[in-house]
Homo-oligomer: A and B are copies of this chain.
Amino acid sequence: MLSLNANELLSLKNLVDSRRPGYGLPRQFYHDELLYQAEIETIWRQGWLFAGHSCQIPNPGDYFLYSVEGDSVIVVRDDDGEVNALYNVCRHRGSVICQEPEGSVRRFICPYHSWTYDRKGQLLLHHGMQDGLDNSQFGLHRAHAREVEGMIFISLAETPVDFDPVYETIAPVAKPQGMPRAKVARIMDFDVASNWKLVWENNRECYHCTVNHPQYVKANFDHYNADDTLPRVAERLKTVTAHLETKLAEQGMYLREETGMTPFPDPDNGIWYAANRTPLVEGYVSETMDGKQVAPLMGDYTDPEVGTLRVRTLPNFWVHASCDHSVAVRLTPNGLTHTSIRMIWLVDGKAQEGRDYDLEKILPFWLLTAEQDWGICTNQQRGVSSHAYTPGPLSTYKEYNLDRFLRWYLQEMKAGLE
Chain A residues engaging chain B, CB cutoff 8 angstroms = 5, 7, 24, 45, 70-72, 87-97, 99, 111-114, 128-130, 133, 138, 141, 156, 201, 207-208, 211-212, 225, 227-228, 376, 379-380, 382-393, 395-398
Contacts and interface: CB of A to CB of B under 8 A. Distances in A.
Q: Which of A87, A225, A384, A388 has the most CB of B within 10 A?
A: A388
A96 B7 contact: no
B128 A383 contact: no
A96 B383 contact: yes
Contacts of A389: 87, 89, 94
A5 B7 contact: yes
A90 B212 CA distance: 16
A151 B94 CA distance: 35
A45 B130 CA distance: 38
21 contacts: A70-B386, A72-B382, A72-B383, A87-B388, A87-B389, A88-B383, A88-B386, A89-B383, A89-B384, A90-B383, A92-B392, A92-B393, A94-B383, A94-B391, A97-B383, A128-B207, A128-B228, A128-B397, A129-B393, A138-B392, A141-B390
Given A95-B376, A392-B94, A392-B138, A72 B112 contact: no
A112 B379 contact: yes
A112 B211 CA distance: 8
A376 B94 contact: no
Nearest to A92: B392
Given A128-B207, A379-B111, A91 B392 contact: yes
Nearest to A388: B87
Given A87-B388, A387-B71, A133 B92 contact: no
A379 B10 CA distance: 38
Q: Which of A90, A93, A396, A397 has the most CB of B within 10 A?
A: A93
A111 B225 CA distance: 20
Given A128-B395, A397-B130, A89 B388 contact: yes
Contact of A211 (B71, B92, B113, B208): B113
Nearest to A205: B113
Given A96-B382, A396-B130, A376 B111 contact: yes
Nearest to A111: B379
Contacts of A388: 71, 87, 89, 141
A187 to B, nearest CB: 22
Given A113-B211, A386-B72, A90 B392 contact: yes
Contacts of A376: 95, 111-112
A67 B241 CA distance: 50
Contacts of A392: 90-94, 138
B379 A99 contact: yes
A67 to B, nearest CB: 9
Contacts of A90: 383, 392
A383 B95 contact: yes
Q: Which of A212, A228, A383 has the most CB of B within 10 A?
A: A383
A379 B96 contact: yes
A90 B225 CA distance: 23
B228 A384 contact: no
